[in-house]
Amino acid sequence: MKVAALLLALPAALHAGDFSFDNPTGPQFTSAQKQAQREAGTRVMPRVLAAFDSASEAVRIPAGDYRFGMEGWGSDGVRFPLQFTGLQRDDTHPFTIDASGATFWFDLPDDQAPTCHFGVGFKECRNIIFKGATIDRATRGHVEGSITRFDFASNRIELKLSPGITVPTTFNDKLDQRVIPFKADGSFCAPLYALQSGGTHLKYQQISAASADDHCWVTMHDSSLLETIRTNGLLRVGDGLSCVYTVTSALELVRSSKLTMDDIHVYAAKAWGAEHDGDGAHVWKNCYFGPRPGTSQWQGGEGFMFNATRHGTTLDNVTICHTTDDTANFHGYWSPVIAISNANRVTFGNNEETRRALPHGIAVGDAVIFLARESGAELGRAKLTAIDGDTVTLDQPAAAFAKAIAEWPDHECGGWLIENCDWHDNYQRLLIQSGPGTLRNCRFTRFGSAIELNSVMPYVEGGVPRDIRIENNVFTDLNPQSGAAAITVYAHAFQPGQAPLLHNITITGNTFSHPNNTVLALSNIDGGLISNNHFPATPNPIQLTRCTNVTLLEPKK
């Protein structure tokens, strides 16, 4: 597909010119309206279950506003305020929950990260279509506004608060307490992402109480941001800051299979989506994760986490913009070996993040790849013939795996597809740690970081990207730090000079507009193709390190 045709085919999105600090706030409701919305919310689940139990093909949630409270907790983990559990349909008879025109509001407190609150959840569901819903939270959960003054001596920035914003009385000084700088037209000021290095230079310390005319001061944790602004002028009076402090999981698919999220809109600030465990093979199409269009809100929605499903997801015509962290992650989880017994039995210790030794849903016949913990060198591959708690039996001797870390390729979202998507003005990267997967016919604009394929050992999240295709995309102003690349590929292990190999990486037919000489920085690849990419005004765009069997065709100027 030619570039012009690609741009015409991409989805409509909230573009920079649509933003204004003078736009109105989002919908406002009286106390009586909120109470009516809560009563309406209590009728959603009974309506859905009645239709499902009667073997209907679909249920319609009438257009309108529905309100829900906080999540709860039980022996099986979080209990979502709006939770669909055990809705199982066979592969040929889907059940549709049509919520077109319905907005689900969640009355969540402004608790500060790392505390996380939740919205809509699907648990142990199969072949369900969730269509047309809008998800938002009643409190904005962050502070943002236009810059009115810089006080370099006191290391602080004055904001005129956006409509509807309130300032908490105290802040907890945790890592997620950071600022996202953006221009007056709503575009992310991506070069300032360079200050994220070290995790503290975009961190704010305190925000003062709002004055009578809705002004406040944001005091930074250190002086790096103010010093950088004074030097390069990247932020000026009239530009903006979004000051993050809450985290919400707006929509999660848990231990489920073949769910379709169709025309879903998430406007809640710092509110991400997630898939984890189960068969997966979900589809997201025609969705939008970002600020509510037509309002003065800059931040909204968030990125995605695709964690340890058996089959990868499909994202088709999905807009993700104005995130405050990674735009999307695809990965599994490492498992450390702690004991070998009876020749072919291996016992694993818990992964620090999942607090489980083995992937959820692991089964006899699943593959396991053993790698040396320090070097990343592959030690061998096996199949599981039996599972007993945290101990598995292999189809071959296990003595060589005594000091290994295990990768589970059947539980890393393999087979994912991202196509026809528009992802723009995002703080951080698209991170790929699994495969196979394909990224095609998409547009990526103004990211603080890069499209990144990596394998990092023995970090809690992981996998080894393999059989990745990056085709016919348009990349503009990604990772604009000095000398940085738009696409980076690497592997890291604790033993210097050694790391896993990433096999069969194809990058073809893409167009790059990038401020630096290096556009593709690739290492630790065995097998691949780089061809027919367009690098306007970049004389030497490709850097290959420790790569073998990679076919490199002359780039077009």
Asked if 159 and 215 count as a contact pair (C-beta separation under 8 A), the reply is: yes
Q: In this structure, what token pair is assigned to residue 338?
A: 């702690």
Where do we find the tokens 């394909």? 438
Each domain of the chain, given as residue ranges in start order, spans 20-139+247-297, 142-242, 333-410
d(CA 197, CA 108): 31
| Residue 283 tokens, joined | 């589809």
Nearest to 340 by CA among 407, 396, 408: 396
Buried b (16+ CB within 10 A) or exposed e, 529-541: bbeebbbeebeeb
44-53 vs 31-42: helix crossing angle, rounded to 10:
20
Topology at the third CATH level for domain 142-242: Thrombin, subunit H (2.40.10)
From start to end of 172-214, where are the E strands?
A: 179-182, 204-207
333-410: CATH topology: Elongation Factor Tu (Ef-tu); domain 3 (2.40.30)
Is residue 59 within 8 Å of residue 47, measured between CB atoms?
A: yes
Q: Beta strands 474-478 and 443-447: pairing type?
A: parallel
pTM of the model: 0.94
- How does strand 466-471 pair with strand 437-440? parallel
Compute CA distances 455 → 151, 408, 494, 528, whole Å.
42, 13, 12, 17
Element (H, E) at 265: strand 265-266
What's the pLDDT score for residue 97? 98
CA–CA distance, 304 with 321 (Å, rounded to integer): 11
**Block mean pLDDT (10 aa), the chain, length 557:** 42 57 94 98 98 98 98 91 97 97 96 94 98 95 96 98 93 89 96 88 96 97 96 96 95 98 97 95 98 94 95 98 95 95 94 91 96 90 97 96 94 97 97 96 97 87 94 97 94 82 96 93 96 86 94 70
Please tell me the predicted confidence (pLDDT) of residue 370: 96
Residues 6+ apart with CB under 8 A from 533: 507, 508, 509, 510, 511, 512, 520, 541, 555, 556
Query: CA-to-CA distance for 264 and 99, rounded, in angstroms?
Result: 9
Q: What is the pLDDT of residue 13?
A: 41
CB-based burial of residue 260 (10 Å sphere; 0-12 exposed, 13-18 middle, 19+ buried)? middle
Residue 360 phi, psi (nearest 5):
-65, 135
Taking the alpha carbons of 243, 181, 440, 523 in that order, is the dihedral positive or negative?
Answer: negative
The answer to whether domain 142-242 and domain 333-410 are alike in fold is no
Q: Residue 3: what pLDDT?
A: 42
- Measured CA to CA, the distance from residue 196 to residue 218 in angstroms comes to 17
Q: Give dist(CA 497, CA 503) in Å, integer.
A: 18
DSSP 304-315: EEEES-SB--EE
How far apart are the C-alpha atoms of 246 and 26, rounded to whole Å? Answer: 18
Secondary structure of 135-179 as H, E, C letters: EEECCCCEEEEEEEEEECCCCEEEEEECCCCCCCCCCCCCCCCEE
In the chain, the largest separation of any two C-alpha atoms, in whole Å, equals 74
Question: CA dist 362 to 211, 355, 380, 410, Å?
Answer: 56, 15, 19, 9
Residue 15: what pLDDT? 46
Q: Rounded to whole angstroms, how far apart are CA atoms 237 and 543?
A: 39
- Residues present in the chain in total: 557
